[in-house]
């Protein structure tokens, strides 16, 4: 009897419990649903089941609330407001260290979601790709103390507001590649004491405010490749005393003024290839005592100021290919000549407009002395022409240039062994100087008609003629003397400050006089 009563009571209790549990469950479900509808900031951002949600994240550490370290989020259906409740849901994963947003639909994410980032005090890496962020606003990264890397590549950023990147004590890398940034203002990068690498490649930067980088004094690498920069001055890079590598390739810089890089006294690599450089101040590289590598390839340089490398005596890799150089003198090269002899050094000089004359003599000895195969290969492919110097636009105000310009147009179209038609009837009959062994010179110069490119190293060094001006100023038969002497005289006419002070055409004039003399 008692047993039966106990049995009934047990069943009743069980039923009651089951009943109670199911109502609790139903209430929970209701609760969750209403939370969802009101934006539910307690939602776990790693476990969003609502198919209509504009953001879905896949997290590394299962779906435990408050425990994921890595989240990859997909942003769908544009038009999330910066204040949308969805951003508050990131508070559900305060231990996130790595967060990335992949934006799927055009126009879906037009700002840095600061409202989400502010909860993520442990965040180390953030990456937003393919968004249409136009503007990085003040304190966009919420002063996150642990943030180390920010990547906002391939957005449409035009403006970095004041303090866009500010108070980020641990940040080491900012990547803004492939945006449309037009200007770097003075305080866009502010209080970033550990920033080492700043990538601004493929933007549209045309203006950098003086001192724009002065709050990023630990920067080691600054990449400004493929922008629209035309002007730099001595304050552009203020504060970058630790910079090791500066990439300015593929811009439109045409004038390098003195002390442009004077603050960069730790710089090791300076890349200026593929610009429009025509003018370089003799003191442009002053201060770069640590510089090892300099690229100036694919520019429009017709001559280098003779003391250009005086300030960069550590240089062991120099690229001057594809310019319009008509000479590269021993004086130009002398300060760095010894650096160009070890195996891992590098001097690249082909594809210029060199004139076959004694200023190129040093190439013979460097080819013999250097252990660098690439330097040897480059020197062996350097060509020159017997024509008057190419009259580059740097010198083209010269009246006597007209004939030379015609002349040079033909040369431009001349192939390696094709002779140009001699409109001016300047033959090379008399290119030999009377005071030389005529037979010898005729042998050497006979095949070298105007417009023909010749391989410098195939011309015996003693056969390279020296300009008239050199002969008259040295009082020694120039073909017989040490190349240093004429070059030192000649260097004076090439100095940049001379060119600026009204003598800029003197070189060409001397040269054309010299060649008129030689060829008539």
Ligand X SMILES: *[C@@H]1O[C@H](CO)[C@@H](O)[C@H](O)[C@H]1NC(C)=O
196 forms part of the interface with ligand X (CB under 6 A): no
> Where does 258-300 have alpha helices with state H?
none
167 forms part of the interface with ligand X (CB under 6 A): yes
257 forms part of the interface with ligand X (CB under 6 A): yes
40-50 burial by CB neighbour count: b if 16+ within 10 A, else e? bbebbbbbbee
**Placement of tokens 């006294």 in the chain:** 265
Using the contact rule CB under 6 A, the part of the chain among 43-51, 143-151, 299-307, 384-392 near ligand X is: 143-151
Element spanning 173, H or E: strand 173-175
Using the contact rule CB under 6 A, the part of the chain among 3-11, 125-133, 336-344, 363-371 near ligand X is: 363-371
400 forms part of the interface with ligand X (CB under 6 A): no
If DSSP states are collapsed to H, E and C, what string results for 207-233?
Answer: EECCCCCCCCCCCCEEECCCCCCCCCC
x/- mask, ligand X, residues 78-117, rule CB under 6 A, reads ----------------------------------------
70 forms part of the interface with ligand X (CB under 6 A): no
Pairing assessment for the beta strands 255-256 and 269-271 based on DSSP bridges: unpaired
Using the contact rule CB under 6 A, the part of the chain among 25-33, 317-325, 361-369, 381-389 near ligand X is: 361-369
460 forms part of the interface with ligand X (CB under 6 A): no
**Residue 276 phi/psi, 5° resolution?**
-115, 30
64 forms part of the interface with ligand X (CB under 6 A): yes
What does the DSSP assignment read for 8-70? HHHHHHHHHHHHHHHHHHHHHHHHHHHHHHTT-TTS-TT----TT-SEEEEESSTT-TT--SE
- State which residue, 427 or 472, has the beta carbon closest to ligand X: 427
Query: Tokens representing 175?
Result: 């990547």
Number of residues that bind ligand X (CB under 6 A): 24
Q: How far is the CB of 470 from ligand X (least distance, A)?
A: 19
204 forms part of the interface with ligand X (CB under 6 A): yes
Among 91, 134, 182, 463, binds ligand X (CB under 6 A): 182
132 forms part of the interface with ligand X (CB under 6 A): no
Contact call for residues 271 and 280 (beta carbons, < 8 A): no
Q: How far is the CB of 153 from ligand X (least distance, A)?
A: 16
x/- mask, ligand X, residues 427-456, rule CB under 6 A, reads ------------------------------
x/- mask, ligand X, residues 264-283, rule CB under 6 A, reads ---------------x----
- State which residue, 351 or 372, has the beta carbon closest to ligand X: 372
Q: Which residues pair with 453 in a beta bridge?
A: none
Q: Which residues pair with 166 in a beta bridge?
A: 190
425 forms part of the interface with ligand X (CB under 6 A): yes
Using the contact rule CB under 6 A, the part of the chain among 28-36, 266-274, 298-306, 362-370 near ligand X is: 362-370
Contacting ligand X within 366-385 (CB under 6 A): 368
Using the contact rule CB under 6 A, the part of the chain among 44-52, 141-149, 243-251, 349-357 near ligand X is: 141-149
**Residue 353 phi/psi, 5° resolution?**
-110, 45
> Where does 427-505 have alpha helices with state H?
438-445, 468-474, 484-494, 496-498
Contact call for residues 189 and 162 (beta carbons, < 8 A): no
146 forms part of the interface with ligand X (CB under 6 A): yes
Q: How far is the CB of 205 from ligand X (least distance, A)?
A: 9
Q: For residues 251 and 13, give the distance between their C-alpha atoms in angstroms, rounded to a whole number.
A: 83
Q: For residues 260 and 427, give the distance between their C-alpha atoms in angstroms, rounded to a whole number.
A: 46
Interface residue list for ligand X (CB under 6 A): 61, 64, 67, 139, 142-143, 145-146, 167, 169-170, 180, 182, 204, 206, 228, 255, 257, 279, 364-365, 368, 425, 461
């Amino acid at each position: 009897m008692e047993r039966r009563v106990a049995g009934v009571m047990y069943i009743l209790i069980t039923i009651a419990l089951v009943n109670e549990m199911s109502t609790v469950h139903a209430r929970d479900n209701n609760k969750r649903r209403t939370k969802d509808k009101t934006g539910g900031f307690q939602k776990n951002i790693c476990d969003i089941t609502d198919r209509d949600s504009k953001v879905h994240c896949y997290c590394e550490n299962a779906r435990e609330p408050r425990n994921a370290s890595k989240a990859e989020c997909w942003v769908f259906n544009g038009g999330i407001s910066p204040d949308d409740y969805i951003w508050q849901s990131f508070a559900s994963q305060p231990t996130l260290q790595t967060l990335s947003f992949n934006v799927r639909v055009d126009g879906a994410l037009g700002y840095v979601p600061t409202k989400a980032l502010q909860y993520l005090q442990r965040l180390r890496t953030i990456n937003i790709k393919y968004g249409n962020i136009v503007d990085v606003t003040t304190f966009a990264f919420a002063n996150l103390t642990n943030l180390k890397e920010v990547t906002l590549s391939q957005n449409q950023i035009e403006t970095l507001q004041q303090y866009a990147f500010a108070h980020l004590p641990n940040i080491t890398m900012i990547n803004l590649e492939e945006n449309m940034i037009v200007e770097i203002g003075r305080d866009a990068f502010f209080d970033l004491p550990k920033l080492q690498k700043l990538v601004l490649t493929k933007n549209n930067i045309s203006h950098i405010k003086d001192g724009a980088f002065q709050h990023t004094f630990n920067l080691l690498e600054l990449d400004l490749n493929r922008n629209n920069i035309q002007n730099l001055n001595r304050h552009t890079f203020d504060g970058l005393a630790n910079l090791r590598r500066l990439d300015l390739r593929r811009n439109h810089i045409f004038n390098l003024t003195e002390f442009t890089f004077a603050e960069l006294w730790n710089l090791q690599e300076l890349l200026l290839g593929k610009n429009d450089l025509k003018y370089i101040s003799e003191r442009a590289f002053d201060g770069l005592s640590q510089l090892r590598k300099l690229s100036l390839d694919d520019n429009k340089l017709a001559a280098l100021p003779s003391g250009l490398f005086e300030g960069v005596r550590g240089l062991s890799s120099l690229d001057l290919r594809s310019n319009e150089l008509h000479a590269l003198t021993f004086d130009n090269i002398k300060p760095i000549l010894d650096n160009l002899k070890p195996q891992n050094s590098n001097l690249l000089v082909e594809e210029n407009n060199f004139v076959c004359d004694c200023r190129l003599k040093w190439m013979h000895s460097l080819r013999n002395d250097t252990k660098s195969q690439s330097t040897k290969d480059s020197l062996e492919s350097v060509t020159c022409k017997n024509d008057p110097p190419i009259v580059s636009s740097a010198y083209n105000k010269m009246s006597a240039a007209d004939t030379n310009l015609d002349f040079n147009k033909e040369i431009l179209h001349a192939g390696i062994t094709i002779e140009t038609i001699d409109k001016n009837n300047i033959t090379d009959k008399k290119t030999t100087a009377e005071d030389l062994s005529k037979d010898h010179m005729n042998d050497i110069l006979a095949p070298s008609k105007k417009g023909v490119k010749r391989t410098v190293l195939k011309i015996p060094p003693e056969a390279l003629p020296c300009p008239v001006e050199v002969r008259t100023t040295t009082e020694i038969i120039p073909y017989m003397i040490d190349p240093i002497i004429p070059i030192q005289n000649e260097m004076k006419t090439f100095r940049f400050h001379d060119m600026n002070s009204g003598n800029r055409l003197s070189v060409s004039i001397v040269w054309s006089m010299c060649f008129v003399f030689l060829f008539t």
